[in-house]
Amino acid sequence: MSSSSNASAKGSERENQKQGDGAIDEELQVQANVVSLDYLYLEMVSPPFQDCQETMKILSEIKPQDSQSTLPSASLEVPRCCRRSVGVENETRRQPQSSSQLSANHIIELAAANFIHSNISHTFASTLSGLSADDARDVQLMLSLLKCVEKVCHEQYDCAGKLLDECSKLRLNPMKVIQRLVYYFNQALCERIERKTGRFKRVLHCSPHDSSIAKISDIAAVYQKLPLNQVIQFTGIHSVADHVSRSRKVNIVDLNICCGTQMMILIQNLAERSDHPIERVRITVVAANSDPAIEEAGFRLKILAESLNLNFSFHVVSLEYALNHQENALDLDPEETVVVHAAFALRHMFTDPNRLEALMKFIRSINPSLMIMIEAEANVNSPVFVTRFVEALFFYGANFEYVEDCLESNGERSCLEVGFFGPAIRNIVAAEGKERKFRIVGINVWRKFFERFGMVETELSTLAISHVNLVLERFDCGDSGTHCMNGKCLVVTWKDTPMCSLSAWKFQEI
């Protein structure tokens, strides 16, 4: 693809100039292998930025607003691009509760506006004049982070280090959303510099919570208390239930079962059918690694099925075995209706395109009548560092605010921030090449990718989608949640920032 080729060629030229020995940059070597989704991302989402200056040009399109008596607003081109990539259609909005404070992403937008303004005029923009003292401090803290990024982008590590040293003194417990967000991105920048220069070893891992990273099962349990996750889970499972409403035998192939809550909903739904009684339900988990949490989930599902007098079986198949044996791996019954449930499962294989392609061929070989995919809806996969940083800042800014608004327990909030968000941010910012495991792309990129395997998008359950607002109304914080349709895909957002998507797929007849 032309944009990717230009980026690779120019990247190699810069490395040759630095090294003088014709060495190819490590990131470009990885890009030569990781083509399945990175190249699609470059083609559809990210312009071929060549250096920090061109990315900063995006920020320069911000136009600071005049001072107003009400809270000011500013627009930033990067998040607007992210929203446009979702392709919002027929959006259903709920009015958020009034708040005396700006949203996290509004703070980031204002900081970016002032970053450009201060570079041009060496003064703060007038957008700060209408802010509360707390919001103004948050904007200035975020502004300091953006200045650090600029220095890191230009490899001016001494200058960046002075700013990062101060931020590294922050502690998590008493901090508010923006402070915690800056803390984690600061730690990630420290690690990036440490990898390149050996600095900051003394300040990394300085949080007293870092030694108690939560288990995946604990994180999954906390997610069950969040409204958008309930919306996506409810809609996906009820779309599966509607699809198999007349099937006598059902086999659900789950690629990431976690604690199994979504399957408990499905089992209850199937057991309650009266017009077309179900004869047998199988759940087959395809797992990369042996995990006691999966066996625990299976045990709970079996107990539930027994209480409902449902003929049920639970099986775990290793991913390696499935990839090697394809359609013979699952001992399928020709009378079964097979549905694949892939919740936050596919993106973990981005760094190994051969493995990802093998998984897609395996899915095709078992010939499911439907595949449900749930994924984060963002574009945090650019091979260009500063672009990826800005994209991640907005995405995790919304996530930090989401859990702050919806979780009453600081322990549960910390479970997600320390156990999941923090490691993800550090990997996105500090790592390059195959070491960068956290890669998120939007539904438009997935569509392009699935085309290669003869997959077509299909309608979600209309009844399930109609109940989205009912699910949100169950939560005190649900007023900030919205949903919209991107074609046939359901996208849920938090304060206008896309968070995750749900789509349904079928294979075309060969």
pLDDT tens per residue across span 447-469: 999 999 999 999 998 888 988 98
Percent above pLDDT 90 for the chain: 40
pLDDT category, 386, cuts 50, 70, 90?
confident
Residues 277 and 195 in one domain: no
Residues 340 and 473 in one domain: yes
The pLDDT tens digits of the residues spanning 211-268 come to 334 566 677 778 788 999 999 999 999 999 999 999 999 999 999 998 888 999 999 9
Which three-class secondary structure string do you get for 241-274?
HHHCCCCCEEEEEECCCCCCHHHHHHHHHHHCCC
Higher per-residue pLDDT: 443 or 293? 443
Residues 369 and 410 in one domain: no
Asked whether residue 284 carries a pLDDT value surpassing 50, the answer given is: yes
Higher per-residue pLDDT: 54 or 211? 54
Higher per-residue pLDDT: 306 or 195? 306
Query: Comparing 293-302, 322-331, 359-368, 379-388, which segment has the lowest mean pLDDT?
Result: 322-331
Asked whether residue 333 carries a pLDDT value surpassing 50, the answer given is: yes
Residue 91 located in a structural domain: no
Higher per-residue pLDDT: 114 or 100? 114
Residues 6+ apart with CB under 8 A from 36: 350, 353, 356, 357, 449
Which of 369, 401, 433 is the endpoint of a domain? Answer: 433
Residues 475 and 500 in one domain: yes
What is the pLDDT, as a whole number, of residue 502?
97
Of 170, 234, 246, 243, give the one whose Cα is nearest residue 208.
170
Asked whether residue 208 carries a pLDDT value surpassing 60, the answer given is: no
CA atoms of 152 and 157, how far apart (whole Å)? 6
Residues 248 and 337 in one domain: yes
pLDDT category, 311, cuts 50, 70, 90?
very high
pLDDT category, 113, cuts 50, 70, 90?
confident
pLDDT category, 83, cuts 50, 70, 90?
very low
Asked whether residue 97 carries a pLDDT value surpassing 50, the answer given is: no
pLDDT category, 406, cuts 50, 70, 90?
very high
Residues 394 and 373 in one domain: no
Query: Comparing 36-40, 88-92, 314-318, 363-367, which segment has the lowest mean pLDDT?
Result: 88-92
Residues 457 and 418 in one domain: no
Residues 351 and 388 in one domain: no
What is the pLDDT, as a whole number, of residue 69?
27
Q: What is the average pLDDT across 380-391?
A: 90
Structural domain of 417: 47-63+99-205+383-433
Residues 126 and 169 in one domain: yes
What is the pLDDT, as a whole number, of residue 168?
61
Residues 144 and 160 in one domain: yes
Question: pTM for the complete prediction?
Answer: 0.79
Asked whether residue 143 carries a pLDDT value surpassing 90, the answer given is: no
What is the pLDDT, as a whole number, of residue 353?
86
pLDDT category, 347, cuts 50, 70, 90?
confident
Q: What is the average pLDDT across 265-287?
A: 92
Asked whether residue 499 carries a pLDDT value surpassing 50, the answer given is: yes
In 111-262 the beta strands, taken as DSSP E runs, fall at 249-254
Asked whether residue 492 carries a pLDDT value surpassing 90, the answer given is: yes
- When divided into structural domains, the chain yields a total of 2
Question: Looking at the DSSP assignment, which residues form a beta bridge with residue 341?
Answer: 254, 372
Residue 117 located in a structural domain: yes
Percent above pLDDT 70 for the chain: 72
Residues 353 and 471 in one domain: yes
Which of 433, 467, 497 is the endpoint of a domain? Answer: 433
Containing 458, the helix (H) or strand (E) segment is strand 455-458
Cα–Cα distances (Å) from 377 to 24, 63, 226, in that order, read: 32, 27, 16
How do strand 489-494 and strand 497-507 relate by DSSP bridges? antiparallel
The mean of the pLDDT values for the chain is 77
63-99-147 Cα angle (round to 5): 40
Among 81-95, 126-140, 482-496, name the most confident range. 482-496
Containing 107, the helix (H) or strand (E) segment is helix 104-121
What is the pLDDT, as a whole number, of residue 163?
67
CA atoms of 311 and 307, how far apart (whole Å)? 11
Residues 290 and 415 in one domain: no
What is the pLDDT, as a whole number, of residue 148?
86
Residue 94 located in a structural domain: no
Higher per-residue pLDDT: 19 or 394? 394
Residue 87 located in a structural domain: no
What is the pLDDT, as a whole number, of residue 173?
55
CATH number for the domain harbouring residue 275:
3.40.50.150
Residue 453 located in a structural domain: yes
